[in-house]
A and B are shown apart, each in its own frame.
Chain A
Amino acid sequence: MSFVEYSDFIQDGDIAIIYLGHDSTMPVKVQQGAQTQTRYGVIRHSTDLIGQRYGSKVTCSKGGWVHVLHPTPELWTVSLPHRTQILYTTDIATVTMMLELKPGSVVCESGTGSGSLSHAILRTIAPTGHLHTVEFHQQRAEKVAEEFKEHRVDHLVTVRNQDVCKDGFGVTGVADAVFLDIPSPWEAVGHAKAAMKKQGGRVCSFSPCIEQVQRTCEALADQGFEEISTMEVLLRVHDVRTVTLPLPDFGPDPSARPDITEEAPPTSAPNHASVALKTTTPPREIPGHTGYLTFATKPRT
């Protein structure tokens, strides 16, 4: 297993994703002899995981069962331990396309945070690209570097523990793309430009507040960036349901022939007809805002 390469069977040392059912997942580090507790009972790694095929159903001690899934950046995003606020798949997908990332891209990122976006970038730029990621918080930088090793992607990434606004990205003239998710991105725009190839490239900044966006756009324009464009992407989930709509009873209709109403699922009162239909309902609450994504192109210098 690796986050950038599929494999069929679970091995000792892998990270596996336990899918417990609707929107509920947990990551597990597979180790000979280890056990994992779930709400459906215990999973014994040696017998239940190691040597099994990814995607198998595992029956736990209490008789309940779970599925073991191959890790992907998207599953990691919904199951990783949060050390910061993270970027979710909807924004990640937009960033990946609008930064024109592909195998071989060299990317700079700051801050690394919990590594949610980093894993997605690594997946996209493997096997020949490289990620230079900068995190000013020492423990977080160490923790994420450790995760990259565990996930077998450390050959594709360099983690630097420094302040990007003061010290930049630690590389110059190499990046095809730069991503900023820091409180004051406008202070890092100059460093972003320096990190990028002279032939040009793409830059993106993620900010929750519009004032941050304004200052960043100004800095980008001052530094000669072109095609500056700000957008917001929100995910809408549609829950599939069968709903039953009762039909009103107008009392007996003398002019009609014996009426033929559609008998939907039998209801408690047989004289009340109703119609069942498949539809979708929105969840009661959805994220109304994550952040603004500002993209720009660095021209050739």
Chain B
Amino acid sequence: MADNVDDDSQYRIKEGDYVVLKRGDIFKAMQIQPRKKVIFEKQWFHLDNAVGHLYSTTFEIVSGGTLQPQTLKDPESSNDAKEAGTDNRNIVDDGKSQKLTRDDIETLKEKGLKDQEIIQQLIENSSTFRDKTKYAQDKYIKKKKKKYGNTVTILKPSCRILAMMYHGREPGKICHLRYDTLAQMLTLANIHAGSKVLVFETCAGLVLGAVMERMGGYGSVIQMYPGGGPVRAGVESFGFAAHFHDMLHEFPICHVNALLAGTLDTTAKDPSADEKQSNMTAEEEQNQPEAEQQGSPEEQSMETNTGNDTDQDQEKKEKEKRKEAKAQEKKVKLEEKRKKLAAAASLLEGRNADGLVIASRFHPCPVLMGLLKFLSPSRPFVVYSQYKEPLIECYTKLKEHGGTVNLRLTDTWLRHYQVLPNRTHPLLLMSGGGGYLLSGTTVATERSKPAGSQRAEEPAPKRLKLTDTEG
């Protein structure tokens, strides 16, 4: 089990890899492309030099935007302060404590000084630094490091990192789903290798990617998508191995009713083709029947041989060839789409999915009621919503409808701590909210509904005691 083989190849950064850049608590996902200019935290550089290095290496950005592995360990604890004050009784804020001007600092930067050297200069030119307490000195250095930092760490993407990145950078894109809430979803839905999971999300593909990571390429995921096609930008960022995509299926939510009614036709022409005309140009449409009338390749070649060789003719033929190729390509694409739809439909038809995860900007109620029908009994489901009220509605509806137990409407409260000798306390800022979850388990539905649930879980509203105080 121990891999004594010293094989680092999978730990090295390769061209084309999806990576995450990190500085402090700031993350940014991207793909390594040759000679591509990258802007991160107001600095630009190229990632070419990072190729071949190990993941989690910290690089310095040197002039010209090239990266080189950091040589010095940062002076985190180098402040074995020669001198420090005990309190701030004699520190006056006159705005003159720093002798370096803004221009001086710019000059230092242009000289290509390392951030640590710049900070050293700032300290040496600060008249109050020596009088500050040791803690205040630490804080000063930390603040300056944040400002003049010119290092970047390159990480391998993971659900943890990407969920934190999205929540920090683009919370709107993921419906303000906080990373601890995402963690609850994956656990409450019992996402694991080998199951068949339905996902409906409009979180840029982050939730889908998280589910796929937890399944490790075993089992199948069916992404139900609204509109013209699934959004998977977030999935890309995970940089999954090719075989992970073999387990990923997609099914348009607009065909759910047809599938449930058994009227979905995936054998003949893709019925969605007619609906997908929005992404065909009118010209293409006109060409379509023509293209289909174009005969077999033999006929084609005969045609081309009988033609005379004027330029015009040539051009015409070229045009026709191009048209032909285009039509062919479209046919293949349509056929592929049809096959995909058929594959997803056959997975859904058994109505024996093992889990359901919903996190979207849509009202969760119809989505949940529609998709629950595809689950086997005794399987978990979880619905995320940025707001509590729609989940109250879901809860009420499920209670009326039956077919589920163990319903819980929850959210989580998350607090980070600063833990330092003699300076331990909760962080001064915390997230206001990371959304709400409704989770539960499906059970076998009965043919006849029981007359009056035996154990209503919602206590009956208390009868109002009204004391008449009038007259």
Contacts and interface: CB of A to CB of B under 8 A. Distances in A.
Interface string B405-437: 110111111111101010010000000000010
B225 interface: no
A265 B461 contact: yes
Nearest to A100: B158
Interface in A259-290: 265, 267-269, 272, 274, 276, 278-280
A69 B378 contact: yes
B412 A235 contact: yes
Contact of A97 (B159, B192, B195, B457): B159
Interface string A230-269: 1111111111111110100100000000000000010111
A234 to B, nearest CB: 5
A34 interface: no
Interface residues of A, number: 87
B88 to A, nearest CB: 25
A19 B2 contact: no
Contact of A57 (B2, B388, B393, B446): B446
A104 B1 CA distance: 11
B192 A123 contact: yes
A35 interface: no
Interface stretch (B34-42, B101-109, B214-222): B214-222
The SS class assigned to the A binding surface is mixed
Contacts of B393: 278
A103 B192 CA distance: 8
A100 B159 CA distance: 7
Contact of A74 (B380, B395, B466, B470): B380
B450 to A, nearest CB: 9
A254 B441 CA distance: 56
Interface residues of B, number: 75
Interface in B1-36: 1-3, 8, 11
Nearest to B464: A267
A19 B405 contact: yes
Most chain-A CB neighbours within 10 Å: which of B1, B378, B410, B464? Answer: B378
Interface of A: 4-6, 8, 19, 21-22, 53-57, 64-65, 67-70, 72-74, 89-90, 92-94, 96-98, 100, 102-104, 106, 120, 123-124, 126-128, 130, 171-174, 197, 199-200, 210, 213-214, 217-218, 228-244, 246, 249, 265, 267-269, 272, 274, 276, 278-280, 292, 294, 297, 299-300
Given A4-B192, A103-B192, A217-B419, 20 more contacts: A6-B354, A57-B446, A67-B378, A89-B184, A90-B412, A93-B186, A100-B159, A106-B1, A127-B218, A172-B2, A197-B3, A199-B11, A231-B416, A233-B414, A242-B458, A272-B466, A276-B461, A280-B388, A280-B392, A280-B409
14 contacts: A70-B379, A93-B186, A94-B180, A97-B163, A97-B186, A103-B216, A199-B54, A210-B424, A231-B414, A233-B413, A237-B409, A238-B410, A240-B396, A241-B461
